[in-house]
């Protein structure tokens, strides 16, 4: 049952580009934040894949993971995620095998079906642009897993290619999603599942599909679920609301087809006062003091029956983003355990931040 599973804390970093700074600044901030997360005892650190925009500087998680793993000691580092429809399964398998060989027991391969961009950029990413790429994600995923597990059928034309360079090390695959279909695939394949609540809030019923349909497959004996949540901690709720205005404005502009860098707070407050935001398309945001955010994260985890929460935070000021993750870690560290005797989340992060698999 959920109440017996200690909650783990992790980070999803989309490498936001702040107005007045550059993409390279954003990438350096990602490395800096990963070092901080490692010091604070977060379990894993994932970087996202987004293409063709002025808002986020992370089109290539596979290029970021190596430097991040080298800059940290205990974090599991991975992709949140690789958008598999853009790539050859063999190339993804080889890339993450190399990373796993260099950083044994620390590499995660989060996989998604979405494009991570607009249709024009999707076309630009294709090698053959004469026709749209086929929608064959299930077969791509099956081929990728066969490479990673050295389990390609002998009669398959690519069977000899499964001798990957990083063996015997391998990444831990996760399926990412925000829909019923992704939950079904994760269950059928027996893969760990990460649900993007920050994209589709209130998806607890979809996550339930994963648990109900989970097949006791060779990969896992039981379901493993994580939920990714947008959250921001500050000195108090008012300050957190102020800081969150930058992300709200950037998302509002993105929905209007005007992607932009993350604006400063004062500019964002003026924009929101004039234009507001679309309540029908708003996303869940857990805002407040560290203690308020901790309570909110625990509630979302309980709703999803998730054993791990991955926190995504965007601010204009990198120092404010650092401080948010510090406050969240401090709030969990201040938990001395629960009334039922369950160890605190801080104890769990401290105890599971080694280089081995977090499933132990």
pLDDT beyond 50 at 224? yes
CATH number at 77 reads 3.20.20.30
Residue 198 lies in a domain: yes
N-terminal to C-terminal alpha carbon distance within the chain: 17
- Predicted pLDDT of residue 335: 64
* Residue-averaged pLDDT of the chain: 87
H/E stretch holding 46 reads strand 44-47
- Residue of 148 and 119 predicted with greater confidence: 148
pLDDT beyond 70 at 183? yes
Residue 36 lies in a domain: yes
Residue 235 lies in a domain: no
pLDDT beyond 60 at 358? no
CB atoms under 10 Å from CB of 122, counted, come to: 19
Contact 110, 81 (CB under 8 A): yes
Q: Phi and psi dihedrals of 193, rounded to 5?
A: -125, 130
Query: In this predicted structure, which of 151-160, 188-197, 309-318, 347-356 has the lowest mean pLDDT?
Result: 347-356
* Range of the structural domain that residue 59 is part of: 2-229+338-351
Total of domains in the chain: 1
The tokens describing 260, both together, are 């932009």
pLDDT beyond 80 at 197? yes
Residue 254 lies in a domain: no
Residue 269 lies in a domain: no
Residue 117 lies in a domain: yes
Contact 262, 232 (CB under 8 A): no
pLDDT beyond 60 at 356? no
Residue 289 lies in a domain: no
pLDDT beyond 50 at 249? yes
- Predicted pLDDT of residue 217: 67
d(CA 281, CA 344): 34
Residue 115 lies in a domain: yes
Question: What's the rounded mean pLDDT across residues 158-165?
Answer: 86
H/E stretch holding 302 reads helix 290-304
Instruction: Pick the closest to residue 107 from 97, 117, 116, 115 (CA basis).
Output: 97
d(CA 305, CA 201): 15
């Amino acid at each position: 049952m959920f109440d017996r599973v200690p909650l783990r804390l992790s980070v999803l970093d989309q490498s936001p580009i702040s107005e007045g700074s550059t993409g390279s600044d954003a990438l350096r901030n990602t490395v800096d934040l990963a070092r901080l997360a490692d010091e604070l005892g977060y379990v894993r650190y994932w970087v996202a894949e987004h293409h063709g925009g002025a808002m986020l500087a992370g089109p290539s998680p596979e290029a970021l993971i190596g430097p991040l793993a080298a800059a940290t000691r205990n974090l599991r580092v991975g992709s949140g995620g690789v958008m598999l429809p853009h790539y050859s399964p063999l190339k993804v398998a080889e890339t993450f095998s190399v990373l796993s060989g260099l950083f044994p027991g620390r590499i995660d391969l989060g996989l998604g079906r979405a494009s991570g961009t607009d249709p024009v950029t999707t076309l630009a990413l294709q090698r053959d642009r004469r026709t749209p790429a086929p929608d064959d994600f299930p077969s791509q995923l099956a081929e990728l897993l066969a490479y990673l597990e050295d389990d390609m059928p002998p009669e398959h034309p690519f069977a000899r290619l499964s001798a990957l360079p990083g063996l015997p090390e391998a990444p831990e695959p996760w399926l990412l999603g925000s829909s019923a279909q992704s939950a079904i695939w994760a269950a059928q394949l027996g893969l760990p599942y990460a649900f993007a609540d920050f994209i589709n809030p209130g998806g607890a019923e979809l996550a339930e599909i994963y648990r109900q349909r989970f097949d006791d497959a060779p990969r896992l004996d039981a379901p493993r679920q994580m939920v990714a949540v947008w959250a921001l901690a500050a000195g108090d709720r008012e300050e957190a609301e102020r800081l969150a205005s930058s992300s709200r404005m950037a998302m509002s502009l993105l929905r209007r087809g005007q992607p932009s860098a993350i604006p400063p707070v004062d500019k964002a407050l003026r924009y929101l006062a004039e234009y507001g935001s679309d309540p029908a398309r708003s996303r869940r945001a857990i805002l407040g003091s560290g203690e308020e955010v901790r309570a909110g994260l625990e509630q979302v985890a309980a709703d999803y029956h998730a054993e791990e929460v991955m926190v995504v935070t965007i601010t204009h000021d990198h120092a404010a983003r650092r401080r948010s993750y510090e406050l969240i870690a401090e709030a969990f560290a201040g938990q001395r355990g629960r009334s039922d005797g369950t160890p605190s989340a801080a104890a769990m992060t401290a105890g599971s931040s080694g280089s081995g698999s977090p499933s132990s």
